[in-house]
Amino acid sequence: MDGFDGQVRALEDARVLVDLADEAKDEPTAAEAASVLARIEDAVGKMEFARMLSGPYDRQGAIVSINPGAGGTESQDWAEMLQRMYTRWAARRGYKSEILDQQPGDEAGIKSVTLGVQGEWAYGYLRAEAGVHRLVRISPFDAQARRHTSFASVFVYPDIDETVRVDIDEKDLRVETMRSGGAGGQHVNKTESAIRITHVPTGIAVHCQQERSQHKNRSTAMRILRSKLIEVEQKKMDEKMGGIHAQKKAIEWGSQIRSYVLAPYRLASDHRTGLKVGNVDAVLDGDLDQFMVALLLQMAGDPSARPVPKPDDDDLDEKLH
């Protein structure tokens, strides 16, 4: 019963068994039909999963970079909320997450954070989250309790292990050391443990200051750089083959992939698939699989997937203004 055609034939057999069981009031035959249907459902689910997560690095872990848009404390707090959301999502799936690099905000939230998520298929799922995320809420930082809109970008890269060869010429790297910033006691003020590595040919720059050891920070920075270079090469291949790849747009109005509205109503809405979820609190607590699966199936060419609406046509904007 391998393959789609095999499942179609099995479904026809199950229909015959159901008809026979119904006519003869035969419970054993009905039980057999139910068993066949269960096997078909399981097989189709596996085929759907294989089609949805068929990228060359989908089975790898992921590196997630979150950066706030313009808006100061508001956007920095939103970026930290997204960090919590993805950390909770990883925990739900039994994945391990760790902070590879983080720069705290001036008053609240974060200026940037890079997360490592380790687990089978982590990148395959998380690549559906790449893009700009928008939050609409009554600001906790506004004494007049006005509604604010905040933006933050999410970039996702495959966390490439040592078995995948990535050629990086040391001559192409510009390495800078500096003192770590942010809270952390006297150590961060006296030791140049932070490191920035720039890959000159591509202009990709990676900063890491999470560890006290410069050696460890360099190792982590190189890990992130390798993943970003792999993602760049994969994007080139996808474009040549006409594949779909999440675009890194400006972190501003009209470029968002998803909106999380907490006031005047409550709704999480994905602008690429049209999926809307009323329980936005559960979404912010890591209940993201439904959004990921909907987009990944659409990207895989699911004929039932909904088309991508234009941001300007977003009914959320019409309700807010």
Mean pLDDT across the chain, nearest whole number?
80
Sign of the dihedral defined by the CA atoms of residues 240, 246, 248, 252, in that order: positive
Query: Are 103 and 66 in the same domain?
Result: yes
268 and 222 share a domain? no
In this structure, are residues 114 and 63 in contact, taking their beta carbons and an 8 Å threshold? yes
**Mean pLDDT within 128-137:** 95
**175 lies in the same domain as 293:** no
**Residue environment code for 48-60, b if the CB has 16+ CB neighbours within 10 A, otherwise e:** eeeebbebebbeb
Q: Which structural domain range is residue 199 located in?
A: 170-240
pLDDT 10s digits, 141-175: 887 888 999 999 999 999 876 666 677 888 888 98
Kindly report the CA angle at 307 between 54 and 294, in degrees rounded to 5? 45
Q: How confident is the model at residue 2 (pLDDT cuts 50, 70, 90)?
A: low
Whether residues 143 and 94 fall in one domain = yes
Domain tally for the chain?
3
User: Are residue 305 and residue 265 in the same domain, yes or no?
Assistant: yes
CB 204 within 8 A of CB 168: no
Q: Which residue, 211, 240, 269, sits at the end of a domain?
A: 240
Do 17 and 134 lie in one domain? The reply is no
| DSSP-derived secondary structure for 100-155 | EEEEE-SSSSEEEEEEEEESTTHHHHHGGG-EEEEEEEE-TT-TT--EEEEEEEEE
Give yes or no: residues 73 and 146 share one domain: yes
d(C-alpha 172, C-alpha 190), whole Å = 29
Q: What pLDDT, on the 0 to 100 scale, is given for residue 237?
A: 58
CATH of the domain at 191: 3.30.160.20
Same domain, 228 and 255: no
Same domain, 151 and 285: yes
Q: What pLDDT digit, counting tens, does each position of 196-206 carry?
A: 889 988 888 88
For residue 65, the domain's CATH number is 3.30.70.1660
pTM recorded for the entire structure: 0.70
